[in-house]
Chains A and B, each alone.
Chain A
Amino acid sequence: MLARRSRTQATTRNFLDSGQSLLVAFAGLLLIWSVTQTAVNGVNDVHAALAFGALIAFGELLRLNLPGDREAAPIATAGAMAYAVLLRVGTVPATHGAGQVVAVTAIGMIVGALPHLAVGRPTRIAVMSARLLAVACAAIAFRPLANASLIGSRWWSELPVMLALVVASLFVEAVISALMRTEALRTRFIVALGDELRVQMAIGAATGASALLIAFAAEVMGLAAVAVFAAPLLVTQVALRRYAGIRATYLQTVRALARVTEIGGYVETGHSARVSRLAVSIGRELGMPEAALLELEYAALMHDIGQLSLRDPVPGGATVLVTRAEQRRIAEYGAEVIGQARVLHAVADIVRRQSDPCRPAGRAQPPPLSSRIIRAANAYDDLVGSSDDPSRAAEAVERLRLDTGSEYDPRVVEALSKLVVP
């Protein structure tokens, strides 16, 4: 527990680096501007402001973690966007300005975050700032148009403008998150953006549609719409929370069960964990997308599971030292075990091909990139083990380099060398 707490704190600190502190500062300025403006002009339609503020606070309270250490608050986002593009409550036109939208959103978010802070859950100010910024973009673009009655009063003139703005604002949020991940994880921006869009696509569609529904329904149902259209998002959120939970357990389980080879004395303690960490870093360095990285992590964790078929463990577990035929047999058996799960075909294939040289003889297909990464990472760990002696690391990289071309993929070895030799 202690270890976990300190790691989260480290990430939180990490998250407040350079670009992110700029983001937070900008959001802070935005907050000050909006609150001042609202204070000067007075609050326009207090009931609506309270209703939307309450929805945003509720959504922030229920924010959830998505796979890949992401945070989202779909209900809060939907509420804030709806408030930004609100045209009428009942028959009364909504005339609040962009400043009021930002102020209500920010205050709602802060109120919703307070209980999290009270129980000591880490709160990522940068992520909240990104969400606020995205809403501010939509509000600043839309409110002047709406208040000047430049948008017609029929759905076929209103809907396209609102739709475009909601989509654009969700895109802004994805871009900011991708930039943050680029900085925090050393991945490429375009890869990070692709990952972000893939993960957020479905939940973003639901959030955007709910925002539009709330905005339109307020015209018919009044402020009751705020509560009614949050309901489907709530269902989605419960399911996604459980999904993220089971995914985390999945990874923990594979990590734990990968250690059976260590406990059985087949490999050195910590080998699978080290190989998987190194392999994922190499994969990220080479610009692999998140889904592929997850498969790579699973495959790297389980790459030695085939050794369970050996009656006697390989001395020291160093598969780099046994014959090619033996390596292949271990890999083949490991792939068979993983293939029995019937859901991890790609992982099984990666494990099967891990012992193939990067340029196979004849006209055989070269193994997938993930297999080549595991092969290099495994060989490196067999040579270096848990030692952190830099000269030993350099020596090992040198040895792998000698075998590039036939055995190891030169690109993989270069990425590895960047990571382990300072």
Chain B
Amino acid sequence: MGKLSRIALLYIGAVVVAAVAVVAVGPFGGFDWRQVGVLGLLLVACESSATLLNSRGLTWSANSIASLAAVVLCGPVGAALVACCTLLGIRRGPKPAQRLFNTAMYTLSAYLAGRAFLLFGGHVGTPGPSSFPGIIGSFAAAAVVHVAVNFALVRGVFWLTRDAESAPGRLGLDFKLWLTDLGYGAFGLLIAALWSVLGPFAPVLVLIPVIVARWAVAQFAAQQRAYEATVSALCQAVETKDFYTRGHSERVSRGSVMIATEIGMRVERVAAIRYAGMLHDVGKLGVPTSVLQKRSSLTDDEYAAIQLHPMRGIDIVREIGFLDEALAGIMHHHERIDGRGYPMGLAGDEIPEFARVLSVADAFDAMTSDRSYRGARPVPEAVAELRKWAGKQFDPAFVDAFVAAIERDGWSPPDGGIPAGGQPVAAAADGDPAADAVGPLRTIESL
């Protein structure tokens, strides 16, 4: 939250006072203190395993399970008391002010959810067989109020501190969080429903599948990260053949993802193009090092060897269970819109979409990186070159998308400076447009 303005402090103060008032006024009758204790423990457990939503400390926790169970079992005041246990959550991160605000916010949400539950005809107490299905409607009202109050109060803080960046983001994320919260909240009803048959074991038993589900999702995410890290490490190994292309695959991958996101590709396709970008030059391994590092101009045979590298790449990655699109992208990333590229000489729309995206990112990174025969060009100059060759070498739509993305998000070219002992290379097999143009097509770089 950073330094708080006076008005933000006032707001937080008001929320805290309201929460304290709700708890202080009571009444403290009509609920079982043991239930409040068990659910309070449950809430501490949920709060302690909060997940970080963004790097600025916005977190999300499954507190609504405990709060909403308490709404049914203990009523509004009992639920507010349970929610007070947020203060005891064992986790690092929140500053005292934040912790206090969170506690007050959850207390108010729980209390108002309890009121909504009563308003929509719910009866406080352990539900029995006769409560179903009538209880579902009142519970749904309580769950919606809980989520709504929670989000409104959080929104208020971000609005007042003008900290738009760490707010829960665009509506999309908000909506997803809403749904997640409601989904977890539903388990609150299940805990309440099972209390009559399982007593205090109800929360334990209900939470096991929930915890395992979260564990499975985390496993998947971890494996995904491991996979990406491994692919990128292996790509770097391939790049060791040529100092000047270090980090090239990584940057082409990033550029391709920028274009793909800009033109609104589906998430799975964006993931596939990320890998395609990383692996697009893997076939260069099949080109003899002596050709890659040659200073003088290349013979026809040597050009032929270089022109084969996309096919070699396909040989290597064919076995991977990717989308076929990624393979097509790797194979054709040196085709040109005007049909003078390689390996097949495809033109226009014959070139797969992935390949047209990759070729823009590839050429752009080649221009903005150092080469043995020239230094890196500044970004605006490279952008101008892209625009100039749009329609001849590149697909204009993707050039526009890339330029728009760069103008908005920026582009960080590789660190300059030629290392001592860096190997000189011929500008042969990377995405350098000049190098790809054979004979009369000497284009960008030779101008």
Residues of A within 8 A of B (CB): 90-91, 155-156, 159, 202-203, 205-206, 209-210, 212-213, 216-217, 219-222, 224, 228-229, 232-233, 235-236, 239-240, 242-243, 246-250, 252-257, 259-260, 263-265, 302, 305, 308-309, 311-312, 337-344
CB of B289 within 8 A of CB of A232, answer no
Please judge, given known A-B contacts A213-B209, A217-B190, A308-B238, whether A155 and B220 are in contact too, CB under 8 Å: no
* CB-defined A-B contacts under 8 Å, sample of 24: A203-B216, A209-B208, A219-B197, A220-B127, A220-B194, A239-B217, A240-B220, A242-B220, A243-B219, A246-B220, A249-B322, A252-B321, A254-B230, A256-B316, A257-B317, A265-B288, A305-B234, A305-B237, A308-B241, A308-B285, A337-B236, A337-B240, A343-B229, A344-B230
CB pair A232 B220 closer than 8 Å = no
Tell me if B213 and A236 are in contact (CB < 8 A). Answer: yes
Q: Which of A91, A202, A254 contacts B215 (CB 8 A)?
A: A202
Where the two chains meet, the residues of B that have a C-beta atom closer than 8 Å to any C-beta of A are: 127-129, 132-133, 187, 190, 193-194, 196-199, 201, 205-206, 208-210, 212-213, 215-217, 219-220, 223-227, 229-234, 236-238, 240-241, 282-283, 285-286, 288-289, 312, 315-322
Cα distance A242–B201 when bound, in Å?
A: 32
Q: CA–CA, A311 to B208, complex, Å?
A: 55
CB distance from A213 to the nearest CB of B (A): 6
Check A202 against B216 for contact (C-beta < 8 Å): yes
Contact B198 A155, beta carbon cutoff 8 Å = yes
Are A246 and B212 in contact, CB atoms less than 8 angstroms apart?
Answer: no
A341 touches B285 (CB 8 A): no
Tell me if B237 and A155 are in contact (CB < 8 A).
no
Question: Which has the most chain A C-beta neighbours within 10 Å: B199, B217, B315, B320?
Answer: B320
Contact of A247 among B193, B223, B315 (CB under 8 A): B223
Contacts of B229 in A (CB 8 A): 340-343
Specify which chain A residues have a CB less than 8 angstroms from the CB of B206 in the assembled complex.
213
Taking A236-B213, A260-B285, A340-B236 as given, write out 15 further A-B residue pairs in contact, using a Cβ cutoff of 8 Å, ordered by the A residue number.
A202-B212, A206-B212, A216-B194, A232-B209, A235-B217, A236-B209, A236-B216, A239-B217, A249-B322, A252-B320, A253-B230, A253-B320, A263-B283, A305-B237, A337-B233
B326 to chain A, nearest CB (A): 11
Q: Is there an interface contact between B216 and A264, defined as CB atoms closer than 8 Å?
A: no
Q: Is the CB of A337 within 8 A of B208?
A: no
Provide the residues of chain B in CB contact with A156, threshold 8 Å. Answer: 199
Docked pose: A395 CA to B305 CA in angstroms = 40
Q: Chain B nearest CB: distance from A340 CB in Å?
A: 4
- Which among B197, B226, B234, B283 is the interface contact of A216 at CB below 8 angstroms? B197
B132: chain A residues within 8 A (beta carbon) = 220-222, 224
Residues of chain B lying within 8 A (CB to CB) of residue A265: 288
Are B205 and A220 within 8 A (Cβ)?
no
- The secondary structure that dominates the A interface is helix
CA distance A24 to B217 in the complex (A): 34
In the complex, A342→B193 CA distance in Å?
46
B316/A205 in contact, CB under 8 A: no
What's the minimum C-beta distance from A239 to chain B, rounded to whole angstroms? 4
Q: Within the complex, what minimum Cβ distance (angstroms) separates A15 from chain B?
A: 24
Q: How far is the CA of A256 from the CA of B206 in the complex (A)?
A: 43
In the A-B complex, the 6 residue pairs with the smallest Cβ-Cβ separation, listed nearest first, are A206-B212, A209-B208, A239-B216, A232-B209, A341-B233, A340-B233
Assembled-state Cα–Cα distance A242/B232 (Å): 21
State the Cβ distance, B67 to closest chain A Cβ, in Å: 19
Interfacial chain B residues near A205, Cβ < 8 Å: 208, 212
- A182→B198 CA distance, assembly (Å): 40
Which of chain A's residues has its CB closest to B319's CB?
Answer: A256
Least CB distance from B92 to A in Å reads 23
Interface centre among B197, B215, B315 (most CB of A within 10 A): B197
Q: Which residues of B contact A246 (CB under 8 A)?
A: 220, 223-224, 227
In the complex formed, the residue of A with least CB distance to B225 is A343
Cβ contact within 8 Å between B198 and A206 = no
Q: Closest residue to B218 on the A side, CB-wise? A: A239
Interchain nearest-CB distance for B138 vs A (Å)? 16
What's the nearest-Cβ distance from chain A to residue B238, in Å?
Answer: 6
Pick the most buried of B230, B232, B317, B320: most chain A CB atoms within 10 A of its CB: B230
Give Cα distance in the complex from A236 to B233, angstroms. 30
Chain B residues closer than 8 Å to A311, beta-carbon distance:
289
- Contact, CB under 8 Å: A213 / B286: no
In the bound assembly, the distance between CA atoms of A305 and B282 in angstroms comes to: 14
Determine the residue in chain B with the shortest Cβ distance to A67. Answer: B223
Neighbouring B residues of A240 by C-beta, 8 Å: 216, 219-220
